[in-house]
Structure 1
């Protein structure tokens, strides 16, 4: 069975690319928007099965649209697509009954699977995110102090504030190569996936824990 969909993204190329891909898979696009307010109006007008929304859009964010859908008891299921990997956004997404949460870099690869899960009423989070959601706060501050060196704790704390390796190197007055070596070691110690964003996502999800850690 197909699904009716409204899609919204304030980046025209992303909007067109996703729309074309979704249409090619046999789904019916009932409307497209480049801002949240227009997206919400389309949802109210067409009552689609699914709304695929960018989180950061003008007028209303994807999260705010999801909130309005929940508040007004709309049956449309919301999928969010985002570059963001911040913990509070995941929490809000779950609070607002969002069914799908996909990182933009994996959108084309994962959107069809996400839609199929959502049609069945099954939440779907990008694989890149899911393991970190499941492992959220799986360490105590004491365990982290025992596991990571003082330098590694400094680096992961700075990663939690979305600093790049270049920015961290400048902040700590060392080379980027040194920071990358530390990051590689931290990934091994925390048993994370060996992808570029893995440690950044983990750090963001555990920001509160990291703030409570006092390095030895």
Structure 2
């Protein structure tokens, strides 16, 4: 029997794209909604295996729907899709027993892997945020200055402003290869995953440290 799913997103194109993609893969789409309250009503009505919800929606957010599901002990497992990489949202997602958390730019690439995990009652989070969720290491300002060299600190500061390797190389009057080498060293020192965006995400989450 195929996995039953309810999908909610207030962006019609995203909603249709995800629905069409999952239908083509053989999943059973029981309902679609463009706001959180409608999504919650569909969950109550159809009791799907999985609900794939946008975090930011009218009436109820994806997190609020997840909270209601947890509060009323519903069996539906929630997967959140979002553009947000805010620390507080990750913590809320874990608090409300969310099973999956995917960044929207990777939704189509990762959704099947995520559903496969969630169907087996295994939690799945986008690689870009997994390093934060799985090893939530809190650094102090002093610790970071001790851990990273002055050049590495400059690079992390530039990354927190979403600068590319080329822009950082220009600013620091260095080569791209040197910047890449520094980035690799920083990832090792911070014990981050080696995914492309992990360091930039970490820099954005920890702007107050440098």
TM-score range normalised by the length of the shorter chain: 0.7 to 0.9
Equivalence map 1:58-69=2 (5 Å): 58-69=58-69
After TM superposition, which residue ranges in structure 1, 4 or more long, deviate above 6 angstroms?
none
The C-alpha deviation readout for 1:52-85, integer Å capped at 9, x for no partner, is 0011111211111101111111111100011111
Residue 72 to residue 158, structure 1, CA distance change in 2 (3 Å): farther
Could you tell me how far apart the structure 2 residues matched to 1:124 and 1:62 are? 16
Q: Are 2:187 and 1:190 equivalent residues in the alignment?
A: yes
- Give the Å deviation of 1:17: 0.9
Partner SS state of residue 101, structure 1: strand
- Which position in structure 2 is the counterpart of 1:5? 5
Residue 116 to residue 194, structure 1, CA distance change in 2 (3 Å): closer
- Give the Å deviation of 1:182: 5.8
Could you tell me how far apart the structure 2 residues matched to 1:142 and 1:61 are? 37
The C-alpha deviation readout for 1:85-125, integer Å capped at 9, x for no partner, is 11111111010010011111111111111112111111111
- Which position in structure 1 is the counterpart of 2:90? 90
TM-score (norm 2): 0.81
- Which position in structure 2 is the counterpart of 1:29? 29
TM-score (norm 1): 0.79
The C-alpha deviation readout for 1:140-159, integer Å capped at 9, x for no partner, is 54442123244654664675
Could you tell me how far apart the structure 2 residues matched to 1:6 and 1:176 are? 49
Could you tell me how far apart the structure 2 residues matched to 1:7 and 1:101 are? 14
Structure 1 unaligned regions, length at least 5? none
Aligned length, in residue pairs: 203
Could you tell me how far apart the structure 1 residues matched to 2:184 and 2:136 are? 15
Please provide the CA RMSD for this pair. 2.9
